[in-house]
């Protein structure tokens, strides 16, 4: 068979198939054609030497916000995807029923894949917060209608449950989100934040397969340590998602959960306009923070590939390199050393490894470099975030002006059909 693309000699970690070792990966017609040692090279149209590199399925970020221009939090995923290895970006509640059609149109313009969690509030995340203070916006029948008409796009229901978002409505928005999810046979993802409602009150409402994001935020601590409701929920099959964001991750809480035998099932960034330039940055950086607390690399890769795909029942082939799957691939340089990384509170831990993305493929096509848009005027950046943004812009501009890169040629080669 003549392959369109052959990555040779990389260290392949594909938790879904149990592969963890040196192998070649062949791509034909935008799909994985073969994975194995010393695959034939004759006739291959593009040969990539991946020796000394880590090759994984395209990463799946379970919690992002990618609806810019229509929401407070939204960002364009493409300028981050090409240099992070994330090929599937789950938009976690940016749109409710009122904005879902507009989000669908936005998704069509991206090079990456964007499954969606529907916000129980029909107004979605247009503002900073408060979307569920008016219960009239949390219309169960309207949300069910929106899900039913968009089964190809919507893979779950999202509810932000904290004092600022729900006001005096307490747990009622969550109850309504659960009603929609159960009627549509989908999971609920619940954001936990500043009480009330307390985490001990909301977790018992969740069932097996539902997801609590920001699982290692400060709210998970009770007066005497971890809130016992966490243990009960975890044992009952509720999935714990990291959901780093700009305020949702603390090392000491995660370490307490690990000591209790409750590692997160999935690792996600909650990447949005206020976390993109720190402290989350991107999914490989967030993954390194799990390495910093002692989780093994294969488990961390699983938490960013097969586990989130399974959690939402994403289309077959997501987060895997099995033969026949869409050829979504990430290639990394693995740097060994001592890499200090901060949580949202400035606590530091050191990761023994750092992943630097060298190439990201969606359906076998290399994603080209692109510059991120400037932050919107309503998003305040710290000095450290402004410095990080400037460094990123310089590095991308240097790449785009390199004599080895022809931007016009890239645009032509990777133009969407």
User: Cα(107)–Cα(317) distance, rounded to whole angstroms?
Assistant: 19
Judged by DSSP in three states, 192 sits in strand
User: Cα(23)–Cα(5) distance, rounded to whole angstroms?
Assistant: 14
User: Cα(334)–Cα(356) distance, rounded to whole angstroms?
Assistant: 7
Count the alpha carbons within 13 Å of 75 in the hemisphere toward its beta carbon. Answer: 27
Judged by DSSP in three states, 335 sits in strand
User: Cα(350)–Cα(255) distance, rounded to whole angstroms?
Assistant: 14
Consult the annotation and say whether 328 binds a ligand: no
User: Cα(319)–Cα(301) distance, rounded to whole angstroms?
Assistant: 10
Whether the predicted pLDDT of 64 surpasses 50: yes
Helices marked H in 49-139: 78-81, 100-108
Count the alpha carbons within 13 Å of 250 in the hemisphere toward its beta carbon. Answer: 15
Neighbours of 411 (CB within 10 A): 11
Consult the annotation and say whether 244 binds a ligand: no
Consult the annotation and say whether 191 binds a ligand: yes
Tens of pLDDT, residue by residue over 356-414, are 999 999 999 999 998 888 899 999 999 999 998 888 888 888 777 755 444 443 333 33
Quote the pLDDT of residue 220: 77
Neighbours of 345 (CB within 10 A): 14
End-to-end Cα, the chain, rounded Å: 25
Nearest to 243 by CA among 308, 173, 333, 310: 308
Tens of pLDDT, residue by residue over 139-195, are 999 999 999 999 999 999 999 999 999 999 999 999 999 999 999 999 999 999 999
Consult the annotation and say whether 277 binds a ligand: no
User: Cα(281)–Cα(355) distance, rounded to whole angstroms?
Assistant: 13
Q: Provide the pLDDT confidence category of residue 88 given band limits of 50, 70 and 90.
A: very high
Quote the pLDDT of residue 417: 25
Consult the annotation and say whether 65 binds a ligand: yes
Tens of pLDDT, residue by residue over 260-305, are 999 999 999 999 999 999 999 999 999 999 999 999 999 999 999 9
Consult the annotation and say whether 20 binds a ligand: no
> In the beta sheet, which residues pair with residue 192?
161
Quote the pLDDT of residue 219: 79
């Amino acid at each position: 068979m003549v392959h369109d693309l052959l990555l040779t000699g990389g260290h392949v970690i594909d938790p879904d198939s149990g592969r963890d070792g040196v192998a070649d990966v062949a791509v034909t017609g935008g799909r994985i054609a073969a994975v194995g040692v010393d695959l034939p090279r004759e006739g291959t149209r593009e040969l990539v030497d991946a020796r000394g590199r880590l090759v994984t399925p395209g990463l799946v970020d379970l919690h992002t916000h990618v609806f810019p221009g229509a929401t407070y939090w939204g960002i364009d995923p493409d300028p981050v995807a090409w240099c992070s290895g994330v090929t599937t970006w789950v938009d976690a509640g940016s749109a409710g029923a009122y904005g879902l059609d507009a989000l669908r149109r936005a998704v069509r313009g991206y090079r990456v894949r964007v499954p969606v969690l529907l916000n129980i509030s029909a107004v979605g995340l247009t503002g900073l917060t408060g979307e569920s203070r008016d219960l009239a916006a949390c219309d169960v029948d309207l949300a069910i209608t929106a899900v039913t008409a968009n089964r190809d796009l919507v893979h779950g229901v999202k509810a932000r449950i904290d004092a600022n978002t729900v006001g005096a409505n307490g747990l009622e928005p969550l109850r309504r989100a659960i009603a929609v999810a159960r009627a549509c046979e989908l999971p609920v993802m619940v954001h936990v934040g500043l009480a009330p409602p307390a985490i001990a009150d909301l977790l018992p409402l969740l069932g097996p397969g539902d997801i609590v994001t920001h699982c290692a935020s400060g709210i998970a601590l009770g007066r005497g340590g971890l809130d016992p409701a966490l243990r009960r929920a975890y044992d009952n099959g509720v999935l714990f998602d990291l959901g780093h964001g700009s305020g949702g991750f603390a090392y000491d809480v995660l370490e307490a959960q690990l000591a209790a035998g409750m590692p997160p099932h999935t690792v996600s960034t909650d990447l949005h306009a206020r976390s993109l330039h720190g402290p989350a940055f991107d999914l490989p950086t967030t993954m390194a923070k799990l390495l910093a607390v002692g989780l093994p690399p294969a488990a961390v890769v699983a938490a960013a590939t097969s586990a989130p795909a399974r959690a939402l029942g994403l289309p077959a082939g997501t987060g895997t390199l099995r033969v026949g799957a869409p050829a979504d691939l990430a290639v990394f340089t693995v740097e060994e050393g001592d890499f200090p990384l901060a949580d949202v509170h400035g606590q530091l831990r050191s990761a023994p490894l750092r992943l630097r993305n060298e190439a990201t493929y969606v359906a076998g096509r290399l994603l080209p470099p692109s510059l991120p848009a400037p932050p919107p005027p309503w998003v305040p950046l710290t000095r450290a975030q402004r410095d990080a943004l400037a460094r990123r812009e310089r590095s991308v501009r240097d790449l785009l002006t390199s004599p080895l890169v022809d931007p016009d040629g890239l645009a032509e080669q990777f133009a969407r059909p």
